[in-house]
Amino acid sequence: MPAVPEVLFVCVHNAGRSQMAAALLQHHAHGAVAVRSAGSEPAETINPAVREVMAEIGIDLTHEVPTRLTTDAVEASDVVITMGCGDACPVFPGKRYLDWALTDPAGRPVDEVRPIRDDIDRRVRALLAELVPQVDARTR
């Protein structure tokens, strides 16, 4: 793994799960990991319930914009994580590919999005502990 590992979170619309995962990893990693997120069919904006549950824990997604998945983004990443949404990524040798089976927050109320956020947070912290063991991700 390079000095600063690069992680790409992928979800079809890049408006919910992948945005939460990227923001949480960025928050916990304190610059020790380069983080991106993208989608094969990006939405125009971030899911409002996702923005709200992230704001509850002090992470502001108001300036984030869904981004189109590119081959270059996959190629530049060390770890590529799909969010259980059936998105397909180009496969390059030497990359680590994971699929996190997560509930889609689209159309769900805030009370149902919080547990999704918390599940992603647990997974992100475990990933960070693997990638950069010296970073303490126990606190928000």
pLDDT at 140 over 60: no
Q: Strand runs (DSSP E) across the chain, as ranges? A: 6-10, 34-38, 79-82, 96-99
**Stated pTM of the model:** 0.92
pLDDT at 98 over 70: yes
CB contact at 8 A, 48 and 55:
no
Tell me: the pLDDT tens digits for 31-47?
999 999 999 899 999 99
Exposed / middle / buried, residue 60 (Cβ in 10 Å: 0-12, 13-18, 19+) = exposed
* Overall average pLDDT of the 4-23 stretch: 95
The number of angstroms, rounded, from the C-alpha of 46 to the middle of its chain's C-alpha atoms is: 13
On whether the CB atoms of residues 39 and 67 are closer than 8 A, the answer is yes
C-alpha distance from residue 68 to each of 5, 38, 62 (Å): 21, 5, 18
Q: Looking at residues 71-92, what average pLDDT do you find?
A: 83
Which amino acid belongs to residue 91? V
